[in-house]
Amino acid sequence: MVWPMTAVIQIEGLRKTFRTLRGGARVALNGFDMTVEAGQIHGFLGPNGSGKTTTLRTLLGLVRADDGRMSILGRTAPEALPEVAPQVGAIVESPQFFGNFSGRRTLRLLARAGGVPAERVEAVLTQVGLRDRGDERVKGYSLGMKQRLAVASALLKQPELLILDEPANGLDPAGIREMRDLMRQLSSAGITVLVSSHILAEIQLICDHVTIVSRGQRVATGPVAAVLSGFDKGEYRVRVGDLDRAADVLGTAGLPVTKNEDHLVVADVGDPAWITEQLGRRGMWVSELTPLTPDLESVFLQLTATTPDPGAPKQVDEAIQPGTIDLGVQS
């Protein structure tokens, strides 16, 4: 295998243990792998504390890895970061800006420090909707406005690769939609986007690929549709007058049936027409027949084993330890 890779981001076997002065150790990354190809909008998902931010920090040279190798835009990271930095826009976990400066001044200074033409400042301020508030002090910005400023700073360089760690954090519904449109727009302009988020419905809407991490290891990766289809058990929701009799009929035909209060869930269904036919032939008329395709949220909860359990709140490190159960990781 040739290294560095042609992929925009390639991470292999990344390990990082944080050690405290008192001798404590916290494993943040435990042999993590990730590939992001050019042009993707790649979602980066994982429970709290699973290592997303640590991965991005390490990739961007803020944290030193204990082991593993990384490349970014075809160059070895972190060694070649100074050369690729002009093409990478990044925000890592709600960046802090100097409160006494206005948003506009903050961006101007960054532009200056990075050799970006000053006209870009107005362009990005408009792009993130801060044009009219650009002269106010950052101190006085709301959470979402600070987040918008952060995104503006990442866009300033007209990057080829955009790395966004929880960009939707604190954004209002309109802001989230604008962010979504912005990412699509950037992607259609050929920019590769890596975005971490906990808003899974949002990720499912925007992203074409995902990587899911749990306890510092990858548990799934691939096109969103492929990851979801791995969890598609061919289930259908069936609503019909006589639930018991219908369950009997379908059960006898060999399909796993779960009876709920007002509907049945039938798995392993090849062709749904078969259900209508079987039931109709016996005088039972189907009033609803809906395919139960898994969404990203349910897949995420299953993959990371963080499905909430009423009455017993899940603790942050109770997510699945990959390798303990065969999850059938798709690659």
Partner 1 sequence: MNLALAELSRLVARRFVLLMTVLLVAAFGVTVATTVASSHRPTAAEVAEAEREVLFAQARIEQIREDCERQRVSPEFCEVYTEREPRIEDYLYGVFVFSQEITDLVYFMIAFLALFAFLVAASFVGAELTSGGMTNLLLWRPQRVTVLGTKLATVLAAVVALSAVASVLYIGAFYAIAEVGGVPGVLDGEFWRDLVLTVGRDLGMVAFAAAIGFGAATLGRHTAAALGLVATYAIVWEIGARIVFEVIEAATPDRYMLSSYIGAWMAGEVSFWDQYGDRQYELTWMHAAAVFAVALAAIVGGAFATFRHRDLA
Ligand X SMILES: Nc1ncnc2c1ncn2[C@@H]1O[C@H](COP(=O)(O)OP(=O)(O)OP(=O)(O)O)[C@@H](O)[C@H]1O
Q: Given the rule CB under 5 A, which residues bind Mg ion?
A: 52-53
Length of the chain counted residue by residue:
331
Which of the choices Mg ion, ligand X, partner 1, none does residue 46 contact, using the CB cut-off of 5 to 8 A by kind? Answer: ligand X
Stretch that binds ligand X, among 52-60, 140-148, 155-163, 289-297 (CB under 6 A): 52-60
Interface positions, 197-226, toward partner 1 (CB under 8 A): none
CA dist 272 and 295 (Å) reads 20
| Neighbouring C-beta atoms of residue 42, cutoff 10 Å | 25
- Is residue 48 a contact partner of residue 214, using CB atoms and an 8 Å limit? no
164 contacts ligand X (rule: CB under 6 A): no
- Is residue 209 a contact partner of residue 222, using CB atoms and an 8 Å limit? yes
53 contacts ligand X (rule: CB under 6 A): yes
Which of the choices partner 1, Mg ion, ligand X, none does residue 173 contact, using the CB cut-off of 5 to 8 A by kind? Answer: none
Shortest approach of ligand X to residue 260 CB, angstroms? 33
253 contacts partner 1 (rule: CB under 8 A): no
Closest CA to 89 of 67, 66, 56: 56
Shortest approach of ligand X to residue 8 CB, angstroms? 21
DSSP per-residue codes, 153-203: HHHTT--SEEEEESTTTT--HHHHHHHHHHHHHHHHTT-EEEEE-S-HHHH
43 contacts ligand X (rule: CB under 6 A): no
Interface positions, 29-88, toward partner 1 (CB under 8 A): 57, 60-64, 78, 81-82, 85
Shortest approach of Mg ion to residue 214 CB, angstroms? 14
Q: Which of 101, 223, 318, 321 binds partner 1 (CB under 8 A)?
A: 101
Burial 108-119 (b: 16+ CB within 10 A, else e): bebbeeeebeee
Closest CA to 290 of 276, 279, 301, 277: 276
Which of the choices partner 1, Mg ion, ligand X, none does residue 49 contact, using the CB cut-off of 5 to 8 A by kind? Answer: ligand X
**What are the structure tokens assigned to 178, written together?**
């604008």
Q: Which of 23, 115, 283, 310 binds partner 1 (CB under 8 A)?
A: 115
Q: Which of 5, 11, 52, 210 binds ligand X (CB under 6 A)?
A: 52
Contacting positions for ligand X (CB under 6 A): 18, 26, 28, 46, 48-54
